[in-house]
Chains A and B, each alone.
Chain A
Amino acid sequence: GAGVSQSPSNKVTEKGKDVELRCDPISGHTALYWYRQSLGQGLEFLIYFQGNSAPDKSGLPSDRFSAERTGGSVSTLTIQRTQQEDSAVYLCASSPSTGRYGYTFGSGTRLTVV
């Protein structure tokens, strides 16, 4: 696609429910990142995918968070048993390779846990 596409753009969920956030990167981009941004805060690294290599999961805040990337393209971030502190904007970014070209961000998913 022309840009990085994320869905849904907004998600309101009840505490304790599971949610899935989707990221469709730019076609051909091998590198894909997930970040979390709380209101007025910086970009918190969550997970990094590069081609067929094992993902870097070192930023995931707890075992309730997981992500996968199928076929080196679409990625899904799953949050199980959501908590109120999970409320944030979840941003996905992709790049042709490892950072040398800058990253293109999607518009994000605003998650609100009530």
Chain B
Amino acid sequence: QQPVQSPQAVILREGEDAVINCSSSKALYSVHWYRQKHGEAPVFLMILLKGGEQKGHDKISASFNEKKQQSSLYLTASQLSYSGTYFCGTEYTSGTYKYIFGTGTRLKVLA
């Protein structure tokens, strides 16, 4: 039931782009994205509520494809501060309301 994220890990050079995917077996109401730096709590980045909706701030954006039950996070012109583990949080119902995090993607940006 846990959404699967890909890739599991990625290493980038500063300025390079990355895409992180989140795929669920459930029909989703929404997808959230979080970033967790080492030793810290996850921090909410953005929420996508509608199919096909794209959101973003700065050079981080995301899309949500309801039909494919997938979301992708796009990091462009990556900065050192982007390093961390990215989690998607998925909202759906399975008899009751559920909010489950994906498997996580470790991102390392090198100078």
Residues on A close to B: CB < 8 A?
33, 35, 41-43, 45, 48, 50, 56, 91, 98-108
Contact = CB atoms under 8 A, between A and B. Distances in A.
Contacts of B89: 99, 102-103
Contact of A98 (B42, B97, B100): B97
Interface of B: 2, 29-30, 32, 34, 40-44, 46-47, 49, 87, 89, 91, 96-104
Given A42-B102, A42-B104, A106 B41 contact: yes
Nearest to A54: B96
Q: Is the interface of A mostly helix, strand, loop or mixed?
A: loop
Contact of B96 (A56, A100, A102, A106): A56
B91 A99 contact: yes
Top-9 shortest CB links A-B: A102-B44, A105-B41, A43-B101, A99-B91, A42-B104, A99-B99, A105-B42, A102-B32, A102-B47
Given A41-B104, A105-B43, 12 more contacts: A42-B2, A43-B87, A45-B101, A48-B97, A56-B96, A98-B91, A98-B99, A99-B32, A99-B97, A102-B32, A102-B47, A103-B89
Q: Is the interface of B mostly helix, strand, loop or mixed?
A: strand
A50 B93 CA distance: 14
Contacts of B46: 102
